[in-house]
């Protein structure tokens, strides 16, 4: 079973969920708007991505960009918890292990 993190009204998340539904994948969806990410999740995703798990092109990140870039790690984590729409999505995990961030149809072929 997979855990999908994101925002329900995000077009990229919608594409990912449609793909998973079409292929019969079992998953639990965690909506950032109802359940904000934790410090532990953000840190885990940062290690997986080898960078901060942010959507640098999104409007939410652009609003917090200066504070984010000027902040220390703890401040960056707090900003991402408070502004979860700035996080790259969807993030997919299996048994607590990150598999993919974002949507890529090639990678999703193996998720069933």
* Catalytic machinery residues: 10
What does the chain come to in residues? Answer: 112
Secondary structure of 53-87 as H, E, C letters = CECCCCHHHHHHHHHHHHCCHHHHHHHHHHCHHHE
In 3-state terms, what secondary structure has residue 104?
A: coil
Structure tokens at 81: 């918890």
Structure-block tokens of residue 99:
């598999």
């Amino acid at each position: 079973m997979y855990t999908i993190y994101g925002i329900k009204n995000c077009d990229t998340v919608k594409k990912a969920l449609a793909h998973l539904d079409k292929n019969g994948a079992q998953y639990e969806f965690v909506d950032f708007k109802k359940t904000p990410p934790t410090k532990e999740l953000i840190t885990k995703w940062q290690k997986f991505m080898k960078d901060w798990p942010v959507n640098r092109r999104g409007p939410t990140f652009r609003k917090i960009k200066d504070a984010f870039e000027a902040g220390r790690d703890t401040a960056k984590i707090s900003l991402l918890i408070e502004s979860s729409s700035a996080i790259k999505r969807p993030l997919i995990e299996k048994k607590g292990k990150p598999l993919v961030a974002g949507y890529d149809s090639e990678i999703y072929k193996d998720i069933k």
